[in-house]
Amino acid sequence: MDKTWIWLPRNSHEYSEGATNFVNSSVRRLGSLLEMLCPCRDCRNLSHQSLDKIVEHLVIRGMDKKYKSSRWSIHGEKRDSAEDSVLQCETKAFDLFKTAFSMDEGGPNPTTDNEDDEAPEELEFTKKLRDAQTPLYSGCLKHTKVSAIMGLYRFKVKSGVSENYFDQLLVLLEDLLPEDNVLPKSLAAIKKFLKIFGFGYDNIHACKNDCILYRKEYENLQSCPRCKVSRWEMDKHRNEIKVGIPAKVLRYFPIKDRFRRMFRSKRMAEDLRWHYTNSTEDGTMRHPVDSISWAQVNAKWPDFAADPRNLRLGISTDGMDPFSMQSTNHSTWPVLLVNYNTPPTMCMKAENIMLTLLIPGPTAPGNNIDVYLAPLIDDLKDLWAEGIEVYDSFAKENFNLKALLLWSISDYPALGTLSGCKVKGKQACNVCGKDTPARWLKFVYMVNPPNIGSLKSHDHHVLVQNLLPAALRGLLHSGHRIAINRLCSYFIRLCQRIIDPEKLISMETEFVETMCQLERFFPPALFDIMFHLPIHLSKEARLGGPVHFRWMYPFKRYMKTLKAFVKNYARP
């Protein structure tokens, strides 16, 4: 059964013709029918429709996503042994992919591709996997070399055991297994094995004072050319330099190999086209693809927009305390990338967020963060200017992959660090700039504000949207209550999953009126820069799409996951 039409734009003639042929072929397979189950997004094979109505539903609504990617058995498609026999080597490749991106065990499964159509580098990758597919020992049916290594390495990461104890565990396992086992004898051997598949990260030495990275022209230097501080760690007791032990190390997780692995999974390569094949044009915004910024990129760089596989990324960073304790001042800065090509249900999930840089502490990089961003920026420049050759397992072809950085995502203090904008003082609004309305309050008398338990920022968000309007009934005068309710209503409408861009324009005007009402009842000290910034949120939503694709909550949750991996508190 021909399925190529299902990935075409629904407004094309080929799609309509393919939908008609699909219905006709289903009737021939199932017998003469006047009605059959409709596979559109709304019916989902639960209700019977006439044949003409099914074609209409498929053109207007599209096919259900899960059914589109599975076997169309309900409509007469027979089982194909060539499609159902999944090669073990590709299964292991996707398992490695899931491990690299911390994906759940319930993720999508790859399907078999014809090796004759694969590129030479793809065949080389498959050959490496087959070499690693040897049984753990002769006669072992449950585990192969790669499955044993991945299981042990996952245990090491989640448990946080030291390298010494892990090596002892490998020695014990070697004694327990038959003599012909192929299990590596040390953690170093396991890491070397994983390097074959492009996993791991690059250790880049950094100046202790955040001046430079010891790379490129500075790679062989023994001290910083700016501050003259030694590259190596200093022994505090003996006052000697420990040659070979760097004072500060930046971890960089190369993005090019990770993008190549994304397209090795047929299901993932298909999802990376979602913004082109499944986007709607009903005038509302459900995804950044419906935003002004996305349209401007398409208009300004049509060559980039011509291939829907080109990636559109967002970058986020913020400081975190790896010890999860408020009493310490340690600040580590992870730099994260998110891919916006994927569907809304996948876009902000943890498996779609990529850790690219881990900037070490104990102090925040401050204005020197651009020093640490250099490896990532270099790769992003290459991906934009030249691109990289990637094998697409869905289309079974090589293509030149490019990437574009759409925007940065951070809280307001981190915005000042990442972009260099002023975030405090007289010109604290980076949108208004010199036109920021400001007034210096020399004497401000305020009592200590009450503390509401240990609520997180998202808890306050829910409090303002849902609980505060109901809690204020009967407690305040009508003028105070109406002004606060208008503020809460603004955030409720702003944070909807589906937004009408026309309403965002009127919301901006309404919020200015709300601010004027609040200024009548509350003292000037309340209206700091954080009260001014919501004026621009409706405009930001028109530019970038729904708010939940660009707020910090998914990245904060991801950072909490990273904290759980810290076991050695001496070197987090």
Q: Pairing between strand 240-246 and 333-339?
A: unpaired
| Rounded Cα gap, residues 461 and 463, in angstroms | 5
Q: Would you say the pTM of this structure is higher than 0.75?
A: no
| Rounded Cα gap, residues 63 and 84, in angstroms | 22
Query: Which position has the token pair 């950044």?
Result: 288
- Contact call for residues 5 and 17 (beta carbons, < 8 A): yes
Bridge partners of residue 409, in order along the sequence: 316
Tens-digit pLDDT profile for residues 261-294: 888 888 888 899 998 887 777 788 889 999 999 9
Bridge partners of residue 251, in order along the sequence: 203, 358
- Contact call for residues 296 and 288 (beta carbons, < 8 A): no
Q: Do you find a cis peptide bond into 108, omega within 30 degrees of 0?
A: no
| Rounded Cα gap, residues 54 and 318, in angstroms | 49
| Rounded Cα gap, residues 352 and 103, in angstroms | 9
Q: What is the mean pLDDT of each run of 10 residues along the chain (572 residues)?
A: 78 88 87 84 86 91 81 75 42 46 38 48 62 78 82 82 88 89 88 75 91 91 91 83 87 91 86 85 86 92 93 92 71 92 89 92 87 94 93 89 92 77 70 66 53 64 73 76 86 88 87 85 76 84 90 89 75 64
C-alpha distance across the termini of the chain, in Å: 54
